[in-house]
Structure 1
Amino acid sequence: MVQEVEDFYGVYLLLCLNPKFKGRTYIGYTVNPNRRIKQHNTGTHAGGAYRTSGRGPWEMVLIVHGFPNDVSGLRFEWAWQHPDKSRRLRGVPGKSRKESAFQHRWRVVCNMLRTAPWCGLGLSVRWLKQEYKLDFPDGLEPPLHMPVVYGPVLSKKVTKSQKGTSRIAPSQVSLDDANVQTEMESSVCAVCHMPVMAEDTVLSCLRPSCPMKAHITCLAKHFLEDETRLLPIEGKCPDCCVTLLWGELIRQLKGCYKNLSESDMQPEKDSTRRDLMPSVPESDESS
């Protein structure tokens, strides 16, 4: 089964299977991993990279996804490609003689996941090909809010209509604009208890049965009550007390998770993370 991910931004690691170039790796950024690996294996005329053209076949074995936008993903890509030039990774030792290029790339990304600003993002580490899976080095395990998942992934675009209703709870989508504005203005922020206006940026609980709405700044401060971070990682819903990841709330604001049910609010299948997160429906489409 293929896991669907909405609003996909990912940075991947390729491994060369060609005996002539055995062990070579390539790091890249994509919003569509299935299309991208086909481009790499077809050549530059199909949009593949110069460094991978004519050296295939390549296998996309690992991808880190969940970046909030393409700028964030591209910066992660550059740092992973150039750890010796990134000021955030100056303390990471270079490749040793005993390490393969693949092992070195893995050790670098393990360090990155524990380094600011990436350690505060709602990222997922996905082994697309489990037979290549490596263990995390001692002391370099990712933060608990980052799941390690397995299997293929299918990127799913968020439609303009979904984005347009991102400030409104799913139960309100069918209402006309006038009723929506009335409903929004009759709501109260769960944190500051002030009225929620239609023009306000509002976050809602991911649980469909929870009526919680809060101004984005109010909820951020609520999540950061006992922290010194600029941006929150997670916190408890002020109404139902379920654990919510900040990154997932922002994804919901951008139009994701519009069809969640109560049964979807569970730890993701085949995930090592213990936190609560929505389980996105699976697709039968193959890569």
Structure 2
Amino acid sequence: MPAFSKPIPPLYTVYILRSTVKHASLYIGSTPNPPRRLKQHNGEVTGGAARTSRQTLRPWEIVGLVSGFPGMVAALKFEWALNNPHVSLHIPADSRITVSTQRKRNGHPKRPLRSVKSIISNLHLLLRVPSFARWPLKLHFFAPEVHGAWTKYCDTVSEPLRETVPVYTDFAPPQSAADEGVPTEDPSPWGIHALPLDYAPMKNYVEKTQSLYSFEREGACVVCKENLVHGEGLYATCSNALCEGTGHISCWSRHLLGNNPGEDIIPISGCCPKCGGEVIWGDMMKETSLRLRGQKEIEKLFKEPRKRKAPARAAPPS
């Protein structure tokens, strides 16, 4: 199936991998499923990268990642730029932080050695360059010292990130009685294991739009007030729970871009004209693509889980 016929995936990430044995050993990759990919890097399942296959560096851990990519191609572009900031055309020459001073045998620039500091600085830079600045990306840190390096670097940069790039932290919980052999309840998932790998967080939103469009209740565009003819246009609906404000995608875009339509191409967020609540352009487009291209995913989302059969009880003694 062509990529353009699929809905925007629930999750696609570019991650920073670090050896727990040698913290200077780092790796950058991309994946829609960080827990599974980490198992591959650690040799628990097949498919890990050759560069992470050395037993002397295992186990590896994901210490940070960027999420919010609209698909594999977008994530691969960002991954390549973060891996090759010394040659990436996404970074203007006068803004480049990492510069190659050596050449490979083929004459191409050799990738400089990297550190957490160099990755952090180039990550900050890539989130500001025109190629990626308008994407609905999110930052996640899972190691306190890596998040500390990010915070420290941000304090030294004169040009901050836009406010719509959220930064999340989810560190390992403190050691508990379970580490001492005392039975406890199952701990809550944290880090990459707490990330949503499916469309479950969108279930209520999708349920609302399925009802709205199935019964042709689109109404008038919340921006231009023109009547929305069912099935004859690309429409998007407000993501807020009690609002069914719907409009042309082009009208939503124009409204959210506000007074700067010439400077920006892709909206980020704004207020719904009907309810006044905040809407995120990326969330609205994910729902729209799921509604138009993801019937199988929607059916899976609303499929009732199978009930487990109760174990047979032993017959009472006669």
* Same topology, TM > 0.5: yes
Give the one of 184, 204, 210 matched to 2:237.
Answer: 204
Q: Relative to structure 1, is the Cα distance of residues 158 and 57 closer, same or farther in structure 2, using a 3 angstrom cutoff?
A: same
Give the one of 196, 211, 214 matched to 1:155.
Answer: 196
- Please report the TM-score for the alignment, with normalisation by the length of structure 1: 0.74
Between the aligned partners of 2:120 and 2:209, the Cα distance in structure 1 is: 45
Between the aligned partners of 1:14 and 1:140, the Cα distance in structure 2 is: 27
Shift of 1:81: 0.5
State whether residues 10 and 30 of structure 1, in contact with CA within 8 Å, keep that contact through their aligned partners in structure 2.
yes
State whether residues 33 and 155 of structure 1, in contact with CA within 8 Å, keep that contact through their aligned partners in structure 2.
no
Shift of 1:64: 0.3
Tell me the alpha carbon deviations over residues 134-171 of structure 1, each in whole angstroms, 9 at most, x when there is no partner.
21242353210010001213332238xx7xx98xx634
Identity of aligned residues (%): 28
SS at match of 1:120: coil
- What amino acid is aligned across from residue 25 of structure 1 in structure 2? L
Higher strand share: 1
Between the aligned partners of 1:106 and 1:232, the Cα distance in structure 2 is: 26
Shift of 1:244: 1.9
- What amino acid is aligned across from residue 67 of structure 2 in structure 1? H
Which residue of the partner structure matches residue 41 of structure 2?
A: 40
Shift of 1:172: 5.7
- Please report the TM-score for the alignment, with normalisation by the length of structure 2: 0.67
Give the one of 62, 83, 92 matched to 2:96.
Answer: 92
SS at match of 2:217: helix
Give the one of 279, 285, 295 matched to 1:244.
Answer: 279
Which residue of the partner structure matches residue 13 of structure 1?
A: 16
Give the one of 165, 185, 190 matched to 2:222.
Answer: 190
The list of structure 1 runs, each at least 4 consecutive aligned residues, that deviate by more than 3 angstroms after superposition, is 169-175
Which residue of the partner structure matches residue 250 of structure 2?
A: 217
State whether residues 13 and 68 of structure 2, in contact with CA within 8 Å, keep that contact through their aligned partners in structure 1.
yes
Between the aligned partners of 1:82 and 1:125, the Cα distance in structure 2 is: 20
The higher radius of gyration belongs to 2
- What amino acid is aligned across from residue 16 of structure 1 in structure 2? S
- What amino acid is aligned across from residue 232 of structure 1 in structure 2? P
Is 1:232 paired with 2:251? no
Quick one: higher RCO (CA 8 Å, sep 6+), 1 or 2? 1
Between the aligned partners of 2:135 and 2:73, the Cα distance in structure 1 is: 13
Between the aligned partners of 2:135 and 2:209, the Cα distance in structure 1 is: 29
Which residue of the partner structure matches residue 277 of structure 1?
A: none
Between the aligned partners of 1:25 and 1:119, the Cα distance in structure 2 is: 25
State whether residues 236 and 243 of structure 1, in contact with CA within 8 Å, keep that contact through their aligned partners in structure 2.
yes
SS at match of 1:68: coil
- What amino acid is aligned across from residue 46 of structure 2 in structure 1? A
SS at match of 1:117: coil
Equivalent residue runs for 1:48-63 within 5 Å: 48-54=48-54, 55-63=57-65
Moved more, 106-115 or 228-237: 228-237
Equivalent residue runs for 1:61-100 within 5 Å: 61-89=63-91, 90=93, 91-94=95-98
Give the one of 89, 110, 113 matched to 2:124.
Answer: 110
Shift of 1:251: 2.2
SS at match of 1:156: coil
State whether residues 18 and 60 of structure 2, in contact with CA within 8 Å, keep that contact through their aligned partners in structure 1.
yes
Matched residue count: 237
Between the aligned partners of 1:59 and 1:95, the Cα distance in structure 2 is: 28
Tell me the alpha carbon deviations over residues 40-86 of structure 1, each in whole angstroms, 9 at most, x when there is no partner.
0117x711001111132211100000111111111000100011111
Q: Relative to structure 1, is the Cα distance of residues 17 and 172 closer, same or farther in structure 2, using a 3 angstrom cutoff?
A: closer
Q: Relative to structure 1, is the Cα distance of residues 221 and 252 closer, same or farther in structure 2, using a 3 angstrom cutoff?
A: same
